[in-house]
């Protein structure tokens, strides 16, 4: 069974990539299994300067998932490059994807360009869809002109391929995808989290300190799959699918909908071995469905 996929000129041993924000900087997971089994890793969201993130509490459990409002806590791009990536390089041999967030076009541009000379990073995932950061964040991902202009400016300075991570919290996801493609995006990843909230029944107070956060987990899978299907038909650049993926069968379904690679997010937080389990299960599930080569099924659903 052939699980290799080609993505942005880079060959991944399999399409499984832990999603940004759900896997730290990767090296933490090397303490429980050999992370070299992964196709790649999308690093924790990075901003120009260090961010503490939102005040506690910032996690709320939900049926079929969870809500988070971490707020892009990270040590800033300088330390990510000088400390976090070298730590990861000691335990993971393949190249990775840097995830960049920001409050302004200038911040996005400066942070992305900082990765130009980092050989370990083969692509930049531009997070224009974070629903729990005040100022910037999702604002860049809900207005197609703003998103287009941001991607255009980043492309002027960034020497790495740009993956744009789209928000599902829009009226027309296809319009957003076409807007960033026309601005020069090299690939699209979708979907990020949906805006959600939970209340404390005893007080009526929102559980999350900033009231709302990003809902992710199994509950969003069918909606995410539909968006991957729609976007991959509408654009000519590769698509990474994510949103509620928990097993090898979900991966095959995402790829048939049009995804070249598949990111696994929230499930890592409740089942830290999930990516390894999916990778171990892939050949068996491929055999069950008579699939010899994963690349053969990308976009298979578009034929019907």
Q: Which residues of 133-158 are buried (b: 16+ CB within 10 A; e: fewer)?
A: beebbbbbbbbbeebbebbebbbeeb
Rg, Å, the chain Cα set: 18
Cβ count near 300 (within 10 Å): 15
| Neighbour-count burial for 29-42, b at 16+ CB within 10 Å, e otherwise | beeeeebeebbbbb
Nearest in space to 97 (alpha carbons), one of 173, 174, 8: 8
Q: Are 124 and 10 in contact (CB under 8 A)?
A: no
Q: Which residues are catalytic?
A: 130
3-state helix, strand, coil in the chain (%, to 5): 40, 20, 45
Does the CA dihedral 37-92-80-8 come out positive or negative?
A: negative
Taking Cα atoms as reference points, which of 49, 29, 45, 48 lies closest to residue 37? Answer: 29
């Amino acid at each position: 069974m052939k699980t290799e996929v080609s993505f942005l000129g880079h060959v991944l041993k399999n399409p499984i990539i832990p999603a940004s924000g759900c896997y730290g900087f990767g090296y933490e997971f090397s303490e429980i299994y050999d992370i070299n089994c992964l196709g790649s890793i999308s690093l924790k969201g990075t901003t120009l300067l260090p961010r503490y993130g939102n005040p506690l509490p910032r996690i709320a459990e939900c049926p079929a998932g969870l809500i988070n409002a971490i707020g892009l806590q990270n040590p800033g791009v300088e330390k990510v490059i000088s400390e976090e990536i070298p730590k990861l390089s000691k335990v993971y041999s393949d190249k990775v994807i840097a995830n960049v967030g920001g409050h302004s076009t200038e911040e996005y541009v400066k942070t992305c360009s900082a990765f130009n000379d980092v050989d370990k990073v083969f692509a930049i995932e531009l997070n224009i869809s974070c629903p729990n950061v005040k100022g910037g964040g999702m604002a860049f991902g809900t207005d197609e002109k703003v998103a287009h202009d941001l991607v255009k400016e980043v492309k002027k300075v960034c020497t790495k391929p740009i993956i744009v991570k789209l928000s599902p919290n829009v009226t027309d996801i296809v319009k957003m995808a076409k807007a960033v493609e026309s601005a020069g995006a090299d690939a699209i990843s979708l979907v990020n989290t949906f805006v959600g909230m939970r209340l404390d029944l005893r007080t009526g107070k929102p559980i999350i300190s900033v009231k709302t956060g990003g809902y992710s987990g199994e509950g969003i899978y069918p909606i995410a799959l539909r968006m991957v299907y729609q976007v991959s038909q509408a654009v000519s650049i590769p698509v990474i699918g994510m949103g509620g993926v928990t097993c090898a069968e979900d991966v095959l379904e995402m790829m048939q909908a049009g995804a070249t690679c598949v990111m696994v997010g929230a499930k890592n937080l409740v089942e830290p071995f999930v990516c390894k389990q999916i990778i171990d299960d892939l050949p068996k599930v491929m055999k069950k469905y008579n699939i010899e080569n994963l690349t053969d099924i990308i976009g298979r659903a578009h034929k019907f």
